[in-house]
């Protein structure tokens, strides 16, 4: 082969077994950043999931599923780095949301140390690919061309045409099947700037706060206002956020991981599979969070769907704050709302009001989440618990069956996050649902645990 002949693209093959597969990690400052860009529906989110070892990017054959930037950690041969997935850049999309998605993708390049330009080998280079390539040439970022969907040897030959883009080395891969990922990662860590020693991860117990709620209640507007940047796509069309997006922020000197999620909808309204999977991601985000900000629309009041979202967070053992957004447009009676919550929800979340549009009340949200997190993590002294249980037994003796009454013997906290209380009784078969709820609510009141999931375990101690 002469020097003037085009170089052959590297054959896609499986990663060498000696390599350790990349693993996901929490967001970390100081690590180099790799941004994945390309035309819609070329496999960017599949590659993101493959590199980070995560499944928080929704994948669907419908173009345009990825709308926001999402970020996750990866590591290869001891080199940690951050991977950013972006929505597709489609200059021909005239819709407002299409323009916003493209702007988000281009903005991500401002902070990138390396760009992975993903193309579909079966169709590239298309006019859309050429437009993205033009964008990348002006970004001033090192570029690796990823020829995706190379599942068979003959598709490697198709990747040769991608040298015409003039953007550098081409790496054939199959993100779906893991082919060629090892060689691609070798190229990535070689191209990255020297990050020095890996920065220390955040301290154990960093609070994870997620934002959930029905579609179009202002979740992304709230998180954008809290971050002080236009990071998430905000649009008046319900469901414009479909993936959980983690962001590490500083709140009064303390690190907090903030997660925005897709809106929760009733099952009957899930017309697309992608919406169904997005809701699964939202519930999974609650399961790995400590505190959930359940956002509702003040102009609509608190709906049954809002209360269901509160209960879903509680079942995920997540502390909850009910956030009444759009307070500039309506101010419903908070006493009425508290009464509604007491009647319909065991969790009894605390309530905060705000307006993402005007900024009113936003400064209170994260400090309130940190205060609730402190209660979520707290240990209650055993002596105080048993003083409380004695007084409650006098106020309302345990239920009885025939001549036998349940007596409350001993109460101790066995774990936290959420608080788990073990109650020893003489006969737990005498416990009724009503009495258990009453005990839980009175203990919640006694120890100021509104909004904190409280787990009460009943154990026989004998007579």
Whether the bond between 125 and the residue before it is cis, its omega within 30 degrees of 0, is yes
Reported as a pLDDT band with limits 50, 70 and 90, residue 233 is very low
pLDDT of residue 159: 63
CA distance 169 to 159: 11
CA distance 82 to 34: 6
**Number of residues assigned to the chain:** 463
Distance set, CA 332 to CA 68, 144, 320, 353 (Å): 32, 54, 20, 10
Tally Cβ neighbours within 10 Å of residue 154.
8
pLDDT of residue 133: 84
> Is a pLDDT exceeding 50 seen at residue 9?
no
pLDDT of residue 439: 95
- The tokens describing 436, both together, are 């258990």
| CATH superfamily, with its number, for domain 33-191 | P-loop containing nucleotide triphosphate hydrolases (3.40.50.300)
CA distance 58 to 51: 15
Mean residue pLDDT of the chain comes to: 77
- The tokens describing 111, both together, are 């902070």
CATH architecture for residues 382-460: 2-Layer Sandwich (3.30)
pLDDT of residue 3: 43
Q: Between 261 and 259, where is the model more confident?
A: 259
Hey, CA dihedral for 389, 392, 393, 399, is it positive or negative? Answer: negative
DSSP code, position 107? H
pLDDT of residue 341: 85
Whether the bond between 435 and the residue before it is cis, its omega within 30 degrees of 0, is no
The CATH class of 208-377 is alpha beta
pLDDT of residue 192: 83
Query: Coil, helix or strand for 282?
Result: helix
Asked if the domains 33-191 and 208-377 are classified in one and the same CATH topology, the answer is yes
> Is a pLDDT exceeding 70 seen at residue 357?
yes
The domain spans of the chain are 33-191, 208-377, 382-460
CA-atom Rg of the chain in angstroms: 26
Q: Phi/psi of residue 172, each to 5°?
A: -70, 130
Average pLDDT score over residue span 365-385: 94
Reported as a pLDDT band with limits 50, 70 and 90, residue 66 is very low
Tally Cβ neighbours within 10 Å of residue 196.
7
Reported as a pLDDT band with limits 50, 70 and 90, residue 205 is low
Spacing of C-alpha 342 from chain mean position: 29
Average pLDDT score over residue span 225-232: 63
- The tokens describing 425, both together, are 């009784």
Lowest pLDDT segment from 112-116, 159-163, 178-182, 272-276: 272-276
Candidate ranges 7-21, 144-158, 252-266; pick with highest mean pLDDT: 144-158
SS3 content of the chain, % helix, strand, coil (to 5): 35, 20, 45
447-463: pLDDT as tens digits: 999 999 998 989 887 54
Average pLDDT score over residue span 238-265: 65
Query: Coil, helix or strand for 108?
Result: helix
- The tokens describing 67, both together, are 């709308």
Task: Tell me if 156 sits within 8 A of 18, measured CB to CB.
Answer: no
Whether the bond between 418 and the residue before it is cis, its omega within 30 degrees of 0, is yes
Lowest pLDDT segment from 53-57, 115-119, 122-126: 53-57
CA distance 52 to 149: 18
């Amino acid at each position: 082969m002469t020097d003037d002949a085009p170089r052959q693209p590297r054959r896609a093959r499986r990663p060498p077994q000696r390599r350790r597969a990349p693993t996901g990690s929490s967001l970390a400052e100081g690590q180099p950043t790799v941004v994945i860009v390309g035309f819609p529906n070329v496999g960017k989110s599949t590659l993101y999931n493959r590199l980070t070892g995560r499944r928080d990017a929704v994948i669907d054959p419908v173009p345009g599923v990825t709308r926001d930037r999402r970020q996750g950690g990866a590591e290869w041969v001891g080199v940690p780095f951050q991977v950013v997935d972006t929505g597709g850049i489609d200059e021909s999309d005239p819709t407002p949301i299409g323009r916003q998605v493209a702007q988000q993708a281009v903005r991500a390049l401002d902070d990138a140390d390396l760009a992975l330009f993903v193309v579909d080998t079966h169709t590239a280079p298309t006019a859309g690919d050429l437009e993205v390539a033009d964008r990348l040439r002006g970004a001033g970022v090192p570029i690796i061309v990823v020829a995706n969907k190379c599942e068979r040897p003959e598709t490697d030959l198709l990747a040769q045409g991608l040298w015409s883009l003039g953007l550098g080395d081409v790496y054939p891969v199959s993100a779906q099947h893991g082919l060629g990922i090892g060689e691609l990662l070798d190229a990535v860590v070689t191209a990255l700037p020297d990050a020095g020693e890996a920065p220390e991860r955040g301290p154990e117990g960093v609070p994870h706060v997620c934002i959930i709620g029905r579609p179009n209640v202002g979740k992304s507007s709230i998180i954008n206002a809290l971050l002080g940047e236009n990071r998430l796509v905000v649009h008046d069309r319900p469901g414009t956020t479909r993936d959980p997006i983690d962001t590490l922020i500083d709140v009064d000197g303390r690190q907090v991981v903030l997660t925005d999620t897709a809106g929760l909808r009733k099952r009957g309204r899930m017309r697309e599979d992608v919406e169904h999977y997005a809701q699964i991601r939202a519930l999974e985000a609650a399961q790995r969070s400590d505190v959930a900000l359940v956002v509702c629309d003040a102009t609509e009041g608190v709906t049954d769907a809002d209360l269901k979202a509160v209960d879903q967070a509680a079942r995920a053992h997540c502390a909850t704050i009910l956030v009444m957004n759009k307070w500039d447009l309506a101010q419903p009676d908070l006493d009425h709302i508290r009464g509604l919550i007491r009647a319909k929800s065991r969790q009894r979340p605390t309530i905060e009001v705000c307006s993402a549009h005007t900024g009113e009340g936003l400064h209170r949200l994260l400090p309130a989440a940190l205060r609730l997190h402190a209660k979520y993590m707290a240990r209650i002294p055993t002596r105080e618990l048993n003083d409380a249980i004695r007084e409650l037994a006098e106020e309302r003796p345990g239920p009885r069956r025939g001549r036998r009454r349940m007596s409350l013997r001993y109460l101790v906290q066995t774990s936290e996050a959420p608080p788990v209380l073990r109650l020893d009784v003489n006969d737990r078969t005498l416990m009724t649902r009503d009495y258990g709820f009453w005990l839980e609510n009175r203990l919640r009141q006694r120890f100021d645990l509104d909004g904190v999931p409280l787990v009460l375990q009943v154990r026989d101690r004998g007579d």
